Amino acid sequence: MFPTISTVLLAAFIPIAVGFIYYNPKVLGGVWMRASGMTEEKMKGTNMLVIFGVSLLLSFVLGFIMFSLTVHQTDIYSLHAGDQGFRVEGSATMYQINELMNEYRERFRTFGHGALHGAVIGLFVVLPVLGTNALFERKNGTYIFVNVGYWVICLSLMGGVLCQWG
């Protein structure tokens, strides 16, 4: 079970779209600039096309792992892996997996379920990672709050989209 490329691409645009709003100076952009030490001078002269292009690529990669973290049915195929790798189609194990998938394919495949998993990933993966980095970078709590808040929102929306339509 794999997500559709179009759904992953849609999910990959979420961090960019949310970032345009979230980091707008009228929302939290000014707070982020002060907390991170970013200035207008530092922002000038950067190649924004490269920044957004690489960000989109990384978000695309993130979309694939988010799918496997929000859609539980992807895990069932790991039951079929053995020491010899995947067994051939038509085996008794594959028959059982197909029967399970027919029965449970759509279970927990809602936007809300995916969004919940995205929020949990944001709080229990992103917060410790960014929080640790921020401590060593000597950043304050505002910096952590702003950046983790952004990722909790993004991962919630990505998880929702991928779980519902992936």
Span 141-162, pLDDT tens digits: 999 999 999 999 999 999 999 9
Long-range CB pairs of 35-39 (<8 Å, 24+ gap) are 35/139, 35/140, 35/142, 35/143, 35/146, 36/139, 36/143
Can you tell me the mean pLDDT for 128-136?
Answer: 97
Residue 71 confidence class, pLDDT cut points 50, 70, 90? confident
Model pLDDT for residues 76-94, shown as the tens digit of each residue:
666 665 545 555 566 676 7
Model pLDDT for residues 43-59, shown as the tens digit of each residue:
888 899 999 999 999 99
Model pLDDT for residues 4-40, shown as the tens digit of each residue:
999 999 999 999 999 999 999 999 999 999 999 999 8
Q: Is the dihedral of CA 113, 114, 119, 122 positive or negative?
A: positive
pTM: 0.85
The yes-or-no verdict on residue 72 having pLDDT over 70 is: yes
